């Protein structure tokens, strides 16, 4: 039987923010629908309304022309709407089977048979009696999906399902979703990843600032058209002018750097040598886990190398800690924004104060100079277009893109001579990526230097003047960006050689 889901004029208003503004959408089974939008566009709010977690202020939802009253998640379940949240709703310390049985009316014996049949049918390999905390992210997601399938869902909603999956797991997931769709389950797929929309979905609705701005078939769309709809403006094409008029003044010289780790999970660095000129961007490519972490930590001073030298503006800095290196006008933006770059439970201005320089006078006689820090923080927020001006906000409430802007702002506001950043746009949406790329180009133009360690080859080719590839802790020959293409990078990243 065909399933029709209709969202009619749904609005949800939070203090200071219209999360959903008169949203109307029609869905029909047999197709996979994408709900596309940047972080904060209102997708998650709509999903929470559909799954009964929150109530809309206005509007109705119809399933097969029947008005639904979704006052709790139970109501959604009873109406055969299944939901897989971005953050898993699983109980980590309970076993897989206990997680499945908790909301099932069936007795354990019947349930086990049913679950085993589902696992077999879709070729999911999950041990039912291990606790959830022993599973990988992909397996946890499968448990969530099985939990929905137990109830014979008519509608299955997936909220940003691939954000925690590996590439292989993503492919598996897409195969399963296509299979569900063929079996008549209506699938709504929420994402901000454009490529996934084109490869998986049949129709796409784009949301922006709480409104649906476009509904179209994916065959009529391409990456750039979707990106423009999502951002609402034409993205500035970032054009890096490879400057031939580099002064040639050397700013950093790393020579004979070695690092042997006692930790078996770390990568040893072997004989790292490179130099960096003023105003230049050096890209370091590589498959993650080939020594990028270790290289970043040694350049930033989080760990010290066993031997070798790092000379920054003719001073030997290899034995200095990150704070001392910052005093010499180096700046760092680590890969993990939440645990390395910022403390999520601290307020914005407190996170700013963590970067405390001798000259910044944030503290007087050991006490907070609150006004000074707050003024400084406000300057960062406005200069780097973070979408809040409330410096008392806890950093955990910033979206990934805004947090990264804050971190970059904190690092850059002191006009450092060298910025070392590691995957600065990882997990961000198109708009934020664009902004950060523009910022990086701008600081190069101001004659400052960048080391960009990244696993995103497009980004590297776009921004770097010269590129090197790291593989198993060794750097390849450093190449001018003009002579590099994606194929060449790929070959080097896999450990191959090029002349």
Partner 1 sequence: MNIDINFLGILIGAIMASSVPLILAASGELITERSGVLNLGVEGMMIIGAISGFALMVITDNLFLAIIGSMLSGLLLSLIFGFLTQSLLTNHVATGLALTIFGIGLSAMIGKDFVGIPGKEFPLLFVNLKEVIPLFGPIFFGHSIVFYFAFLLPFGTNYFLKKTKIGLIVRAVGDSPISAANQGINVLLVRYCCILYGGAMCGLGGAYLSLIYTPQWIENMTAGRGWIALALVVFATWSPLKVLVGAIIFGGITILQLHMQAMGIRIPVQFLSALPYIMTIVVLVIISRDSRKIKLNTPTSLGQIFYKEK
Q: Which residues bind partner 1 (CB under 8 A)?
A: 48, 51-55, 72-74, 77, 85, 88-94, 98, 101-103, 131, 133
Shortest Cβ 80–partner 1 spacing (Å): 14
CB of 13 to partner 1, least distance (A): 12
- In the three-class reduction of DSSP (H, G, I as helix; E, B as strand; rest coil), residue 201 is classed as coil
Cβ 327 to partner 1, closest distance in Å?
40
Query: 296-314: buried (b, 16+ CB within 10 Å) or exposed (e) per residue?
Result: bbbbbbeeebeebebbbbe
Block residue for tokens 């790092």: 310
123 or 134, CB closer to partner 1?
Answer: 134
- Residue number with CB closer to partner 1 (24 or 104): 104
Give which of 48, 44, 36, 47 is closest to 207, Cα–Cα: 36
Alpha helices in 446-485 (DSSP H): 457-463
Smallest distance from partner 1 to CB 97, Å: 10
26 vs 57, which CB is nearer to partner 1?
57
User: 396-401: which pairs have CB atoms within 8 A and are 24 or more residues apart?
Assistant: 396/338, 396/344, 396/345, 398/348, 399/39, 399/40, 399/432, 400/39, 400/337, 400/427, 400/428, 400/432, 401/39, 401/428, 401/429, 401/431, 401/432, 401/433, 401/435, 401/436
Whether 144 and 88 have beta carbons less than 8 Å apart is answered as yes
Nearer to partner 1, 30 or 131 (CB): 131
Question: Is residue 128 classed as helix, strand or coil in its secondary structure?
Answer: coil
- Cβ proximity to partner 1: between 88 and 122 the closer is 88
Nearer to partner 1, 91 or 397 (CB): 91
SS3 300: helix
Q: Which residue's CB is nearer to partner 1, number 56 or number 291?
A: 56
Output the CA torsion 121→74→164→41 (10° steps). 130
Q: Least distance to partner 1 from the beta carbon of 459, Å? A: 35
Q: Whole-angstrom Cα distance, residue 382 to residue 393?
A: 15
3-state helix, strand, coil in the chain (%, to 5): 35, 25, 40
For residue 89, the minimal CB distance to partner 1 (Å) is 4
Nearest distance from residue 389's CB to partner 1, in Å?
A: 25
């Amino acid at each position: 039987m065909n399933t029709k889901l209709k969202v009619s004029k749904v609005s949800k208003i939070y203090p200071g923010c219209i999360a959903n503004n008169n949203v109307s959408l029609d869905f029909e089974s047999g197709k996979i629908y994408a709900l596309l939008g940047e972080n904060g566009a209102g997708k998650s709010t709509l999903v929470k309304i559909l799954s009964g977690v929150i109530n809309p202020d206005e509007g109705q939802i119809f399933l097969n022309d029947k008005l639904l009253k979704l006052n709790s998640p139970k109501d959604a379940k009873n109406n055969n709407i299944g939901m897989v949240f971005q953050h898993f709703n699983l109980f980590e310390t309970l076993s897989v089977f206990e997680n499945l049985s908790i909301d099932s009316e069936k007795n354990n014996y019947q349930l086990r048979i049913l679950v085993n049949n589902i696992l077999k049918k879709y070729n999911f390999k999950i041990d039912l009696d291990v606790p959830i905390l022993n599973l990988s992210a992909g397996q946890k997601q499968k448990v969530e999906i099985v939990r929905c399938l137990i109830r014979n869902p008519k509608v299955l909603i997936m909220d940003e399902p691939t954000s925690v999956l590996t590439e292989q797991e993503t492919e598996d997931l897409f195969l399963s979703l296509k299979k569900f769709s063929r079996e008549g389950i209506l699938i709504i797929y929420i994402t901000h990843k454009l490529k996934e929309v084109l490869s998986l979905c049949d129709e796409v609705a784009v949301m922006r600032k709480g409104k649906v701005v476009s509904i179209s078939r994916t065959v009529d769309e391409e990456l750039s058209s979707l990106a423009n709809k999502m951002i609402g403006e034409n993205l500035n094409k970032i054009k890096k002018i490879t400057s031939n008029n580099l002064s040639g003044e050397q700013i950093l010289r790393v020579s004979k750097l070695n690092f042997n780790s006692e930790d078996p999970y770390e990568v040893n660095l072997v004989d790292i040598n490179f130099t960096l000129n003023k105003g230049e961007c050096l890209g370091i490519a590589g498959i993650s886990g080939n020594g990028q972490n270790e290289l970043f930590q040694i350049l930033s001073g989080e760990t010290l190398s066993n031997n070798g030298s790092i000379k920054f503006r003719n001073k030997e800095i290899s034995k200095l800690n990150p704070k001392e290196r910052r005093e010499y006008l180096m700046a760092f933006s680590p890969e993990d924004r939440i645990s390395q770059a910022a403390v999520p439970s601290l307020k914005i201005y407190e996170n700013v104060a963590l970067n405390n320089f001798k000259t910044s006078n944030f503290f007087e006689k050991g006490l907070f100079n609150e006004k000074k820090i707050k003024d400084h923080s406000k300057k960062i927020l406005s200069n780097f277009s973070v979408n809040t001006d409330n410096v008392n906000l806890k950093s955990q409430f910033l979206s990934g893109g805004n947090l990264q802007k804050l971190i970059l702002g904190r690092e850059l506001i002191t006009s450092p001579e060298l910025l070392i950043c590691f995957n600065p746009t990882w997990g961000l949406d198109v708009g934020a990526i664009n902004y950060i790329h523009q910022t990086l180009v701008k600081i190069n133009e101001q004659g400052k230097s960048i080391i960009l360690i990244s696993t995103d080859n497009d980004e590297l080719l776009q921004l770097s003047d010269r590129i090197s590839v790291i593989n198993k802790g060794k750097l390849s020959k450093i190449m001018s960006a003009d002579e590099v293409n994606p194929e060449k990078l790929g070959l080097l990243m896999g450990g191959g050689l090029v002349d």
